[in-house]
Amino acid sequence: MLDAVTALTRGTRLTYSRGLRRYVFAPIVVNLLVYGAMLRYVLANFGGWLDGWMALVPGWLAWLEWLIWPLFVISLVVIVFFTFTLLTHLIAAPFYGFLAAKVEVVATGRPPLDDRGLMKTAVDALGRELVKLAYIAPRALLLLVVSWIPGLNLVAPLLWVLFSAWVMAITYLDYPMDNNKVTFADMRRRLASRWWQSLTFGGCVTLVTWIPLANLFLLPGAVSAGVLMWDQHYRGLAVSAAR
């Protein structure tokens, strides 16, 4: 049975094997440019964000400052990397979708069901990313509000971690599913029906996104891992069985 760690290990090796690594260059360049710009912005503003957040802590919770401060730091770090990941995937989606299609042929011996041309695939990939964003954004906003509510914000880091794992599962497992004409709604049902595999895979990918610089080279491997997970755990699910 393919687990998340094995999928990521095999997927990364597959991504950088002969015949596939040429499809990784463009996503890495995109990630590098976005990473550099965002890192510069975060370093310039992180201290101000943290001071403003701590100023909202009511006086009656001042005795818990030793616990609240690190929780705020963790929340900010999760939010920053969560935003970075969403932005890079919005830009790199066409490249990742194309990489996933090539990996599926090599890894499974059969092409995806998608018969669209290269240009239409790229345009549709951006549209699919906007659909994901419409699903993710309001839920992320709700979590952000929770993160600012005294008392409730104590559980915000855990909620962000779980949400990030779910979002990463959606992000990386959607590439092969989109290539195989699985709708976004059906994709979410399939992921929910295999919730343990989905969350463990998404959690491992989340950890990968938190590795500075190395994540630029590991994220394309997560695309290949998503293809392997799709073939092992989700392909055989009928639409009715995934409801």
Residue 21 confidence (pLDDT):
81
Residue 238 confidence (pLDDT):
66
pLDDT in tens, 171-222: 999 999 998 989 999 999 999 999 999 999 999 998 887 787 777 788 889 9
Question: In angstroms, rounded to a whole number, what is the distance separating the alpha carbons of residues 176 and 16?
Answer: 18
CA-closest candidate to residue 170, choices 205, 221, 138, 146: 205
**Least reliable range by pLDDT among 51-65, 172-186, 203-217, 228-242:** 51-65
Written as one letter, the residue type at 151 is: G
Helices 65-108 and 4-15, packing angle to 10 deg: 60
- For residues 79 and 136, is the Cβ–Cβ distance under 8 A? no
Query: To the nearest whole number, what is the mean pLDDT of the chain?
Result: 82
Residues 141, 143, 147, 148: is their CA dihedral positive or negative? positive
Residue 210 confidence (pLDDT):
77
The better pLDDT of the pair 108, 89 is held by 108
pLDDT in tens, 10-36: 999 999 988 888 888 877 887 778 777
Residue 10 confidence (pLDDT):
93
Quote the tokens at residue 34.
């976005």
**pTM of the complete model:** 0.77
The answer, yes or no, to whether residue 242 has pLDDT greater than 50, is: no
